[in-house]
């Protein structure tokens, strides 16, 4: 976790947008859940380095899937992992299984070894090839800068000290006032008692996240499972202009006691409304006079404290946050959290009190049996409730069935049934070379959901019943040490009020990797009827950049990425072309652009020594 912050340096915005579905979503690959928690506990003393582990070491993990492990080894040929959390985006990743085994994983990256002097410099350029309206407009909406996004970062680690600096400039932002966003931190880790001191930009997690994240993230499933939550301080110097604190943070450890104290003060983009309340803008864009009018107009101050006590597998914590936003105090509160881990059971929870009438609570239980793994989670506030029950049925370390039941206070229950499977591997014989290998996987999923379509109407509720049927086939047509060829077909059917619509996606992907350079090529055909039949497919991108394009409408996409290493230097470039034959104009306002064929290009240089 030392450098988890690096893996979230920049979120790439693909052609059709960026989509990140929480709780693994339907289209996160899933592999078997853990059969026996006590097996993992007995082996917990042995940790696996995800950057060097062999196939045999990976398969020693209970519930490991051979397809997922092979995908990890292929992905590792292109670049080293920066964090164990990067495993979540690998094809075949099962988030629940990763949460179970993450305590046995470690990410020791030679390029990020802080035990000795290490330095890294990174430069990224992304020209705007869309031809957005703002670059040709006049008046308040006209962009003031050049049509190129730039990102610069430097990191220096010297034993107990490390520091980082980042500079970010979006396409259309002017350099007249200097760089649009500058991030910096200095961290000192002296020993076991005073674990960490961070001055500058940092991220902070307390308890299960009720104090540091919003209700919408929890309801959508973005947090709250209790297994990925961490409590501590992470230094940050990235292109992100919103999700961080700026000030000073200290972490102490006295035997079984943990103390975290942090203070933050920074400026936010936003405005206060005449009728009361305020609006915050999280895009970080300051390209024209309209966007500059709200730049850093709200002052935020936060004081955060955590006191935690642990004894064996028990842990309890008390968290306090005071948050002031210029004219009003917001999101202040006190919370109590707990965790307990037994041989086959794991419980977690947190209760938050913001005022006499405003409260939030989160409780969950994971229980592993021989034939079923159960995960129950309840989240509630003073205004709404949500219960979720997930059942996974493993058979010989292979998940054969997954069932999720979810109930919100004002709606009937929603269901999700998922049946994964694998196509048996076989070797072709005869005149065909024996390194040509055919294997694959399939998946069927069925989901129901109730939606409130009443909008702003408070007296009349319009509830619609939605159903989805999804199917996927994925084949590895060729797989050896250098070459890999994949094909995927994906289909979805959405039905509401007896009206059914469908969407489908096909892609062919070729990967080639040698010691000093690698190549990635993917061609995608997609056709969807509407937004409810949209599809996602993870796509390789530059190091530290994660891309999950959303495929909506009718069109095709070609993606090409090449990477070359020169001793200490690495150069990576990616070019994409997306064609929409039925769309003449996309976007809105100053971000609108015309044309049926859209191009993107990114170039990144890095050097470590």
Which residues have CB under 8 Å from 288's CB, separation 6+? 134, 140, 141, 142, 143, 144, 172, 590
State the pLDDT confidence band at 115, using cuts at 50, 70 and 90. Answer: very low
- Mean pLDDT over residues 262-283, rounded? 83
Answer whether residue 6 shows pLDDT above 60.
no
Q: Would you put residue 23 in left (φ > 0), alpha (ψ -120 to 50) or beta?
A: left
The pair of three-digit structure tokens given for residue 336, joined into one six-digit string: 């109590």
In sequence order, what are the beta bridge partners of 452? 463
- Residue 68: half-sphere exposure toward Cβ, Cα within 13 Å: 25
- Mean pLDDT over residues 35-44, rounded? 30
Top pLDDT among 217 and 137 is at 137
pLDDT for 38: 27
pLDDT for 331: 67
Number of Cβ atoms within 10 Å of the Cβ of 129 = 18
Answer whether residue 79 shows pLDDT above 50.
yes
Query: Could you read off the pLDDT of 396-448 as tens digits, one per residue?
Result: 555 667 788 888 776 677 888 878 766 544 433 444 455 555 667 777 888 88
pLDDT for 462: 66
Top pLDDT among 278 and 581 is at 581
Most confident of 31-35, 169-173, 459-463: 169-173
Rounded distance, CA 20 to CA 538, Å? 10
Nearest to 440 by CA among 492, 477, 470: 477
Rounded distance, CA 290 to CA 194, Å? 46
Percent of the chain with pLDDT over 90: 26
Nearest to 282 by CA among 222, 244, 241: 241
The pair of three-digit structure tokens given for residue 397, joined into one six-digit string: 């370390």
- Mean pLDDT over residues 99-128, rounded? 69
- Mean pLDDT over residues 19-28, rounded? 28
pLDDT for 72: 84
pLDDT for 39: 30
- Compute the mean pLDDT over every residue in the chain, rounded to the nearest whole number: 77
Of 173-187, 209-223, 312-326, 491-505, the one with minimum mean pLDDT is 209-223
CA distances to 169, 188, 417, 506 from 16, rounded to whole Å, are: 21, 41, 28, 17
In CATH, what class is 37-106? mainly alpha
DSSP secondary structure, 429-487, as one string:
-TTS-TT-EEEEEEEEEEEEEEEE--TT-SS---EEEEEEEEEEEEEEEEESSSEEEEE
Q: What angle do CA 46, 85, 318 make, to 5 degrees?
A: 85
Check: CB of residue 517 under 8 Å from CB of residue 571.
Answer: no
- Mean pLDDT over residues 514-524, rounded? 90
Q: What angle do CA 573, 24, 587 make, to 5 degrees?
A: 55
The pair of three-digit structure tokens given for residue 203, joined into one six-digit string: 């991220």
CA distances to 60, 119, 123, 562, 567 from 573, rounded to whole Å, are: 36, 22, 12, 6, 18
Check: CB of residue 284 under 8 Å from CB of residue 170.
Answer: yes
The pair of three-digit structure tokens given for residue 449, joined into one six-digit string: 């959901």
pLDDT for 491: 95
Check: CB of residue 317 under 8 Å from CB of residue 207.
Answer: yes
Nearest to 263 by CA among 230, 301, 317, 212: 301
In sequence order, what are the beta bridge partners of 318? 307, 336
Of 76-85, 337-346, 360-369, 375-384, the one with minimum mean pLDDT is 76-85
Top pLDDT among 330 and 126 is at 126
Top pLDDT among 272 and 317 is at 317
DSSP secondary structure, 332-398, as one string:
-EEEEEEEEE-SSEEEEEEEEESSSS-EEEEEEEEEE-SS-EEEEEEEEESS-EEEEEEEEEEETTE
Nearest to 480 by CA among 425, 439, 435, 432: 435
Which residues have CB under 8 Å from 199's CB, separation 6+? 185, 186, 187, 247, 248
Answer whether residue 459 shows pLDDT above 60.
no
Most confident of 38-52, 374-388, 459-473: 374-388
Which residues have CB under 8 Å from 455's CB, separation 6+? none
Rounded distance, CA 483 to CA 520, Å? 10
Answer whether residue 463 shows pLDDT above 50.
yes
Rounded distance, CA 187 to CA 185, Å? 7
Rounded distance, CA 466 to CA 447, Å? 8
Check: CB of residue 206 under 8 Å from CB of residue 196.
Answer: no
pTM (2 d.p.): 0.75
Nearest to 9 by CA among 188, 160, 168, 143: 168
Kindly state the helix (H) or strand (E) to which residue 534 belongs, with its residue range. Answer: none
């Amino acid at each position: 976790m030392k450098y988890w912050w690096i893996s979230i340096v920049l979120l790439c915005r693909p052609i059709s947008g960026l989509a990140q579905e929480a709780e693994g979503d339907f289209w996160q690959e899933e592999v078997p859940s853990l059969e026996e928690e006590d097996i993992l506990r007995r082996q917990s003393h042995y940790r696996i380095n995800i950057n060097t582990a062999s196939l045999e070491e990976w398969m020693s993990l209970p519930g490991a899937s051979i397809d997922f492990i092979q995908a990890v080894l292929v992905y590792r040929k292109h670049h080293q992992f920066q964090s164990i959390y990067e495993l979540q985006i690998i094809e075949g990743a099962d988030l629940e299984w990763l949460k179970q085994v993450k305590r046995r994983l470690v990410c020791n990256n030679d390029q990020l070894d802080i035990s000795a002097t290490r330095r890294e410099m990174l430069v990224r350029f992304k020209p705007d090839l869309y031809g957005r309206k703002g670059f040709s407009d006049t008046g308040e909406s006209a962009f003031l800068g050049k049509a190129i996004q730039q990102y610069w970062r430097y990191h220096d680690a010297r034993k107990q000290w490390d520091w980082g600096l980042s500079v970010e400039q979006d396409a259309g932002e002017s350099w007249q006032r200097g760089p649009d966003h500058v991030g910096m931190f200095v961290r000192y880790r002296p020993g076991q008692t005073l674990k960490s001191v961070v001055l500058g930009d940092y991220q902070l997690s307390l308890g299960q996240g009720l104090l540091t994240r919003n209700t919408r993230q929890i309801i959508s499933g973005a947090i709250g499972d209790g297994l990925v939550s961490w409590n501590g301080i992470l230094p940050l110097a990235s292109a992100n202009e919103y999700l961080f604190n700026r000030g000073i943070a200290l972490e102490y450890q006295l035997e079984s006691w943990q103390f975290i104290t942090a203070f933050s003060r920074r400026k936010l983009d936003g405005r206060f409304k005449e009728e009361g309340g305020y609006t915050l803008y999280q895009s970080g864009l300051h390209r024209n006079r309209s966007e500059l009018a709200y730049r850093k107009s709200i002052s935020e101050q936060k004081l955060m404290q955590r006191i935690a006590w642990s004894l064996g597998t028990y842990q309890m914590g008390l968290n306090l946050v005071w948050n002031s936003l210029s004219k009003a105090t917001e999101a202040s509160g006190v919370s109590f959290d707990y965790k307990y881990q037994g041989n086959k059971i794991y419980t977690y929870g947190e209760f938050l009190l913001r005022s006499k009438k405003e409260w939030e609570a989160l409780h969950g239980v994971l229980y592993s049996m021989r034939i079923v793994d159960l995960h129950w989670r309840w989240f509630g506030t003073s205004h709404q409730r949500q219960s979720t029950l997930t059942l996974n049925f493993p058979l010989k370390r292979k998940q054969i069935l997954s069932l999720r039941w979810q109930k919100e206070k004002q709606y009937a229950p929603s269901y999700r049934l998922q049946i994964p499977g694998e196509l048996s591997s076989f070797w072709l014989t005869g005149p065909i070379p024996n390194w040509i290998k055919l294997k694959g996987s399939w998946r069927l999923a069925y989901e129901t959901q109730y939606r409130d379509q009443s909008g702003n109407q408070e007296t009349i509720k319009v509830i619609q019943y939605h159903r989805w049927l999804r199917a996927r086939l994925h084949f590895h047509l060729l797989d050896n040490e250098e070459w890999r060829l994949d094909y995927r077909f994906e289909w979805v059917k959405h039905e509401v009020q007896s009206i059914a619509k469908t969407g489908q996606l096909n892609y062919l992907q070729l990967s080639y990797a040698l010691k000093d350079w690698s190549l990635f090529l993917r061609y995608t055909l997609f056709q969807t009827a509407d937004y409810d039949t949209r599809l996602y497919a993870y796509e390789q991108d530059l190091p530290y950049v994660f891309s999950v394009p959303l495929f909506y409408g009718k069109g095709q996409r070609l993606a090409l990425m090449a990477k070359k290493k020169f001793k200490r230097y690495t150069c990576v470039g990616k070019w994409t072309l997306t064609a929409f034959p039925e769309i003449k104009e996309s976007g809105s306002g100053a971000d609108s652009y015309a044309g049926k064929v859209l191009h993107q290009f990114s170039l990144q240089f890095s050097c470590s020594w």
